Amino acid sequence: MSLAMYLRETARQNRAGAAILDDDRTLTYPQFVDRVARCASLLESLGLKRGQRFATVMRNGSRQAELMFAGYWAGIVPVPVNWRLAPPEIAAIVADAECPLVMVDDDFLSVLDHPAMESWKGRHLVVDRAGGASDYDKRLEALAPMAPQEIDENEDAQLIYTGGTTGRSKGVRLSHRNIAANAHQIAIRARILPDDIWLHVAPMFHAADTICTCGYLLGNAHHYVRVFNGQSGLAAIERHRCTVTSITPTMIKMMLDEPDFGRYDLAHFRHFLFGASPMPVEWILALREKLPKALLSHCFGQSETAPLLCLHHHDDMLAGLDKGDLEPLKSAGAPLLGVEMRIVDDSMREVPLGQAGEVVVRGPNVMKGYLNRPEETAKAFEGGWLHTGDVGRLDERGRLYLFDRKKDMVITGGENVYTTEVEAAIYQHPAVAECAVFGVPDAKLNEALFAAIVVKPGARLTVEEVIAHCRPLIGGYKIPRQMAFVESLPKSAVGKVLKTELRKSFRG
């Protein structure tokens, strides 16, 4: 089945249920499907043909959700683009994807004025216009809904570009089968309920928002936060009675740090699905204290897997917390149903249980490949498995413990050091707000450990104090001797620390 057919079936079985909860409107599932079908007609009227692609440069919103599903409906592939990129970078992605059309909202109309985007000037449509109705809404009203199309589940559904944290962004080709399979896997593992209400805070150009697709298949309601900060997230949970979200640790911390946190009614909220980076134990404990009934599940995945590979079993992550068992907090959960996972060495031999190696996977949610990059696709699937580039181990219960990105592991003086382990030790210092550990060139050791540390407001910290703090926690060779105390860490749109930027700044 195509994703559009799943949506149609949801509407048939949930005629009165809300699909969209905007601040200024509510759409039932039949109303949402009607707009999606009209939007599919709009794409066709703009000259797009089945198999072609269109780009969206938009903030989070229900109209972008309409566009995504309209693409699924018509067999035209949406390409959500990271609006935080510079115009030349946006132009490079739109050109790589061969998009004849760009959809923008009012916030990013100026992007089209840049010389790099000149080719798309006049080949665009403004979807949301501040202070008045847009051409988009007027055109939808004038068009008849497109009849349902027969779309094969193996056709491309979405082209999503990687974050480019390791170099040039790559277009990941995800099929209808990839996304639908992962939606089912997530719904089962996370125990999504029919009356759940999704809070969309992860940017829609990021794979993290694809997690919420399962909510459309189950008939859940959805609220999109256009601009996220701690206050807007809390206010949306309270106003729209949101119960579940796909979120990053940084976003959770922003809400926890809101001075008025206690004034919001959040009693109905029940499940945080978090990923993109590890969550310090101190943050988990703080969240547990403020929202003791809310579940917390660590997700592991990537754009190439539509997007999740692992997720905790319901309340498994917090089950031992009351007994002082912090071990499950360090896990990324177990592989989802249908995901085959192996831990292998550099020769693709499976390592003994509990030993570290690269995580490789197979499953129905694994991408078709990278657009226009046959050599990189072949390398990613070397040996018939997708190479995630992550180093981890599996325990006797099948839970995955991640150590590092393979590229981020530091070999110092001949010893392998996983930077996440070092970061976890530094985070235990009460004066540390954030930290990132990475390798820098060193004449003696070949590579040395370097820590960039953000100190909490009002606190003071020295290199000597950090070293003394780490000594009883980790081996001496794992303790950074080079450090910088910085005001902030460079991050991606979903709060992932950009270590490539840090290496450039501190490589000497």
Confidence (pLDDT) at 129: 65
Q: Which has more pLDDT, 313 or 485?
A: 485
Q: Output phi, psi for 394, to 5 deg.
A: -110, 140
Tokens of 79: 């390409």
The alpha carbon dihedral of 475, 477, 483, 486 has a sign of negative
Residue 481: band (very low, low, confident or very high) from pLDDT cuts 50, 70, 90: very high
Beta bridge partners of 474: none
Residue 290: band (very low, low, confident or very high) from pLDDT cuts 50, 70, 90: very high
Residue 282: band (very low, low, confident or very high) from pLDDT cuts 50, 70, 90: confident
CA nearest to 20, candidates 28, 11, 8: 28
Does residue 508 surpass a pLDDT of 70? Answer: no
The alpha carbon dihedral of 82, 83, 88, 94 has a sign of positive
Residues composing the chain: 508
Q: Are 300 and 402 in contact (CB under 8 A)?
A: yes
Least confident of 91-95, 96-100, 165-169, 440-444: 165-169
Average pLDDT over residues 215-227: 97
Q: Are 57 and 87 in contact (CB under 8 A)?
A: no
Average pLDDT over residues 412-433: 91
Residue 330: band (very low, low, confident or very high) from pLDDT cuts 50, 70, 90: confident
Give the global pTM: 0.87
Q: What is the mean pLDDT of the chain?
A: 93
CA nearest to 451, candidates 478, 406, 483: 483
Confidence (pLDDT) at 327: 80
- Provide Rg for the chain, Cα atoms: 23
* Domains recognised in the chain with CATH numbers: 3-330 (3.40.50.12780), 340-403 (2.30.38.10), 409-506 (3.30.300.30)
The string of pLDDT tens digits covering residues 340-377 is: 999 999 999 999 999 999 999 999 999 999 999 999 99
CA distance 362 to 375: 19
Confidence (pLDDT) at 167: 53
Tokens of 252: 């959770």
Does residue 164 surpass a pLDDT of 80? Answer: no
The string of pLDDT tens digits covering residues 387-401 is: 999 999 999 999 999
Confidence (pLDDT) at 442: 87
Average pLDDT over residues 182-205: 96
Confidence (pLDDT) at 420: 87
The alpha carbon dihedral of 214, 219, 220, 223 has a sign of positive
Residue 131: band (very low, low, confident or very high) from pLDDT cuts 50, 70, 90: low
Q: Which has more pLDDT, 499 or 165?
A: 499
CA distance 282 to 284: 5
The string of pLDDT tens digits covering residues 247-262 is: 988 899 999 999 999 9
Confidence (pLDDT) at 409: 85
CA nearest to 212, candidates 195, 228, 226, 224: 224
Residue 414: band (very low, low, confident or very high) from pLDDT cuts 50, 70, 90: confident
Residue 486: band (very low, low, confident or very high) from pLDDT cuts 50, 70, 90: very high
